[in-house]
A and B are shown apart, each in its own frame.
Chain A
């Protein structure tokens, strides 16, 4: 099991291969559909972004509200493919890691390799378990979007699996083919 601390360096990216299980610790930022739309619009209009993207991690999640005494509610990943149209613009600003669930487009994979970034998956639906890995949480932008606002999270040993690496390794294709015994 590999341990990685944010912000992410190229040395970290080089270490990770499709299929590796990794624990992430440090600061990560949340963002899903509407936040992505707003960030890309901000970039196009040369406006200020909610945070400096260099070496950073975005986690695609819309958490439930936190109960009293807890930093966050349930917070499992949402489907990543919906963020495909926005990701290249954010990677060009320095974004290095995206965490979500599900596979992504071939165009995304190509852009991700070109930009030397990486895609990781957390277990979809495991929101109660993943909330235990969050130490602090704070809304830093787009509060009006409710669950879609951008949160700054401090996480400890957040469990993810490397899905696509910069060497062309593809967990989805490689592993599924290993267990597939039927033609469709």
Chain B
């Protein structure tokens, strides 16, 4: 049994939160630059140029790329052979507190959805814990803004609606969301499980890297087809019109009930922030 102090978890969460908000990573930035060349609309092209310039300023100056530094979503994979000395959830929240102060990040969490008083330290985070083999802790931190999260949804389709029903739902969701979720988007689609499992699948899907290729051939083809259709919608960068509405579609699946076809769509704005670390 490996012992891990809660303080180590706090330190890692702080480091990941500081990095995620200011640095998108090379492969994502390269993809954005490539899209400027391909964008058909001049207004859309100008928007993409502003986005790339913004992300370069953020990286070079350690400034948050977006003022909405988000609600922090934390996926913690904890090995069976780990003994945590202290409280895992509190350790994660403490890391968030420290990062959001030190990084001059916006505190965007209210304590109660009805009375809406700001908690002042951007906690609590939304933490999902998974037990896995081994003696390590792997943490993926994803600060997520309200704009794109607000345009996300879960819908229980019937099995008869099938792939066509899923495609229609995705295209409607993105078309009518227009500029609100800050396109170009990463579109995470969770299919299967039940109501809450599908939402979690969609969230995990947006955390896949943009250049990651789905090992399942069927899903890979479906991801490509849906991406192609989304980019025919004309929504374009920030909804100003154009050919770059989404950068990637990622589909994650899980077995489900014979009567059900749960589908969740989690939209991720172009400020696609997530970082992973291991203790």
Give the contacting residue for A184; candidates B104, B146, B233; CB below 8 A.
Answer: B233
Question: Once the chains are docked, how many angstroms separate the CA of A58 from the CA of B36?
Answer: 30
Please indicate the chain B residues that have their CB under 8 angstroms from the CB of A25 in the complex. Answer: none
**Count of B interface residues, CB-CB < 8 Å:** 56
One of B131-139, B153-161, B173-181 at the interface: B173-181
The 8 Å CB contact of A64, one of B105, B172, B178, B182, is B105
The answer to whether A181 and B108 touch across the interface, beta carbons within 8 angstroms, is: no
How many residues from A make CB contacts under 8 Å with B? 48
Residue of B nearest to A63 (CB): B67
Contact A67 to B147, CB < 8 A, known contacts A73-B64, A102-B180, A172-B239 = no
| Cross-chain contact B240 with A171 (CB below 8 angstroms) | yes
CB <8 Å contact, B65 and A74: yes
- In angstroms, Cα B106 to Cα A102, docked, is 21
Q: Does A126 contact B (CB under 8 A)?
A: yes
Kindly state whether residue B10 has any CB partner on chain A within 8 Å. Answer: no
Known: A74-B66, A175-B41, A175-B241. A182 touches B233 (CB 8 A): yes
Decide: B41 and A125 in contact? CB cutoff 8 A. no
B150 to chain A: which residues have CB within 8 Å?
79
Cross-chain contact B178 with A172 (CB below 8 angstroms): yes
Contact in complex: B242, A175 (CB < 8 Å): yes
Q: A67-B104, A121-B238 are in contact. Are A102 and B65 (CB under 8 A)?
A: no
Cβ-defined contact, A101 with B104, below 8 A: no
**Are the C-beta atoms of B180 and A81 separated by less than 8 Å?**
yes
- Of the residues A124, A127, A146, A180, contact of B234 by C-beta under 8 Å: A180
Please list the residues of chain B having a beta carbon within 8 angstroms of any beta carbon in chain A: 40-41, 43-44, 46-47, 50-51, 53-55, 57-58, 61, 63-69, 104-108, 116, 118, 120, 145-147, 150, 168, 171-172, 175, 178-180, 182, 229, 232-236, 238-243, 269-271
Known A-B contacts: A147-B108, A178-B234. Give 12 more (CB < 8 A): A21-B43, A62-B67, A62-B68, A65-B104, A76-B54, A102-B180, A125-B66, A127-B68, A128-B64, A147-B107, A181-B234, A184-B175
